[in-house]
């Protein structure tokens, strides 16, 4: 059966539903070395005052969201990337109290937290922020982290089956006015109920980053914002991926936004941008950490040496994000091409957030505004 006219299951009053054609989120700034695996002294380090300052900077520029990684262990090597991280629910709650317009996202692996607690925590953050909370749900598997939580090994399909039960309980906790029971294969909730409900009604938006066919089927059923991963060597692949994911959502009678996680390295010239990436991902690569990342997060390193070398260099420079490298105009043009492909939003990372975020705001955002991809901050782009 079709949904109501707007075909959204969630509230559409928050920042992620602004009138900007290309929405933006600052991604992963709660985690050390979020944007690149490098020994560069300029690599991203974290502190609470720094995170507050960067999120406020993004908010002032009109960027819609701050999106954290949910990480509990790093990847060793000389720098232990992702080894330091702020927990995402308390991070979002703290930022909600010191901001006024930007969406604050809580990221959670559905195998690591009871759904009743997660639902209540997001609703609390929604009240602190006056309707700016978003939940990002993931079902990924990193063995060293799962062992910390005592989670037994689940296959790929099983993780999403467990996630579907988790999501069913979550949405009922947020929306039902009477207690409910859920007796599933993976979890049981008896007398589930929550008050107060969230400020955003019927519920806050849900985000999901999954890239397999099973993951995209899950996202089409439950997520309001989902991610694709275009081939950097074939940018046109974004068109097909966007169409396929939105078609899956339409089969469910739903609309969704499609976003891309990106790695930004801009400079006045293309040559300067590429030299910058070569500097921090070449001789300064943390090879042991890159190999650990590839083994734990990207299916292993059992590949030909030449292909492995290319993969390691890409991971070191971009940690799997879609690379947007070049002059400021080139990056703006590439973002425009993603918008033309139907992409609704970008999550942004940099090797050095202290350099990269103000550089993006000062030099690329104006070009996006000129191209009609963004409205100037403070000119009525809000939902």
> Which has the minimum average pLDDT: 40-49, 279-288, 293-302?
293-302
In a domain, 310, yes or no: no
Yes or no: say if 248 and 216 are a contact pair by the CB < 8 Å rule. yes
Residue 306 reports pLDDT greater than 80: no
Residue 7 reports pLDDT greater than 70: no
* 298 pLDDT tier (thresholds 50, 70, 90): low
Give the model's pLDDT for residue 181: 98
* Bridge partner list, 263: 323, 349
In this prediction, residues 108-121 reach a mean pLDDT of 95
pLDDT in tens, 217-272: 999 999 999 999 898 888 889 999 999 999 999 999 999 999 999 999 999 999 99
* 176 pLDDT tier (thresholds 50, 70, 90): very high
In a domain, 295, yes or no: no
Distance CA 15, CA 24 (A): 10
Residue 147 reports pLDDT greater than 90: no
Give the model's pLDDT for residue 301: 37
Residue 302 reports pLDDT greater than 50: no
Q: Give me the torsion for CA of 30, 35, 40, 41, rounded to 10°.
A: -20
In a domain, 106, yes or no: yes
DSSP string, 269-310: SHHHHHHHHHHHHTTTB-HHHHHHHHHHHSS-S-S-HHHHHH
Model pTM score: 0.93
CA distances from 34 to 235, 290, 321 (A): 24, 13, 11
Distance CA 27, CA 338 (A): 18
In a domain, 337, yes or no: yes
Residue 308 reports pLDDT greater than 60: no
Residue range(s) defining the domain that contains residue 176: 15-289+321-370
* 165 pLDDT tier (thresholds 50, 70, 90): very high
Distance CA 186, CA 161 (A): 8
pLDDT in tens, 178-220: 999 999 999 999 999 999 999 999 999 999 988 888 999 999 9
Residue 154 reports pLDDT greater than 90: no
Give the model's pLDDT for residue 305: 61
Domain count, the chain: 1
Sequence-separated (6 or more) residues with CB below 8 Å from residue 231:
237
Residue 2 reports pLDDT greater than 60: no
In a domain, 238, yes or no: yes
In a domain, 382, yes or no: no
Q: Where are the beta strands (DSSP E) in 1-64?
A: 23-27
> Which has the minimum average pLDDT: 289-293, 325-329, 333-337?
289-293
In a domain, 205, yes or no: yes
pLDDT in tens, 46-100: 999 999 999 999 999 999 999 999 999 999 999 999 999 999 999 999 999 999 9
User: For position 243, which CATH number holds?
Assistant: 3.20.20.30
Q: Where are the beta strands (DSSP E) in 6-48?
A: 23-27
Compute the mean pLDDT over every residue in the chain, rounded to the nearest whole number: 91
In this prediction, residues 3-24 reach a mean pLDDT of 83
Give the model's pLDDT for residue 5: 38
Distance CA 383, CA 44 (A): 32
Give the model's pLDDT for residue 202: 96
In a domain, 9, yes or no: no
* 326 pLDDT tier (thresholds 50, 70, 90): very high
């Amino acid at each position: 059966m079709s949904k109501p006219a707007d075909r959204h299951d969630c509230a559409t009053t928050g920042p992620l539903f602004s009138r900007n054609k290309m929405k933006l989120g600052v991604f992963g700034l709660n985690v050390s070395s979020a944007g690149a695996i490098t020994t560069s002294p300029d690599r991203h380090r974290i502190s609470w005052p720094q995170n507050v300052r960067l999120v406020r900077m993004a908010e002032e520029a009109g960027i819609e969201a701050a999106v954290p990684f949910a990480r509990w262990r790093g990847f060793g090597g000389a720098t232990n990337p992702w080894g330091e991280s702020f927990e995402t629910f308390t991070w979002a709650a703290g930022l909600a109290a010191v901001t006024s317009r930007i969406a604050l996202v809580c990221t959670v692996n559905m195998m690591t937290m009871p759904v009743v607690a997660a639902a209540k925590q997001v609703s609390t953050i929604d009240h602190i922020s006056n309707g700016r909370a978003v939940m990002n749900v993931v079902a990924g598997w990193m063995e060293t982290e799962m062992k910390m939580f005592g989670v037994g090994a689940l296959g790929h399909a099983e993780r999403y089956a467990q996630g579907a039960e988790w999501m069913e309980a979550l949405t009922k906790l947020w929306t039902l006015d009477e207690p409910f029971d859920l007796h599933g294969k993976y979890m049981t909730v008896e007398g589930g109920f929550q008050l107060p409900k969230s400020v955003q009604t019927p519920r806050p938006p849900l985000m999901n980053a999954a890239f397999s066919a099973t993951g995209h089927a899950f996202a089409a059923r439950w997520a309001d914002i989902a991610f694709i991963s275009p081939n950097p060597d074939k940018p046109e692949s974004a068109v097909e991926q966007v169409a396929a994911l939105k078609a899956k959502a339409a089969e469910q009678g739903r609309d969704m936004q499609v976003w891309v996680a990106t790695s930004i390295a801009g400079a006045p010239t293309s040559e300067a941008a590429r030299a910058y990436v070569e500097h921090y991902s070449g001789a300064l690569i943390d090879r042991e950490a890159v190999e650990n990342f590839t083994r734990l997060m990207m299916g292993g390193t059992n590949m030909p040496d030449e292909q492995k070398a290319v993969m390691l260099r890409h991971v070191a420079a971009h940690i799997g994000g879609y690379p947007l490298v070049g002059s400021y105009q080139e990056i703006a043009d590439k973002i425009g091409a993603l918008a033309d492909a139907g992409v609704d939003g970008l999550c942004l990372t940099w090797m050095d957030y202290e350099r990269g975020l103000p550089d993006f705001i000062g030099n690329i955002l104006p070009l996006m505004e000129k191209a009609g991809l963004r409205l100037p901050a403070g000119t009525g782009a809000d939902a």
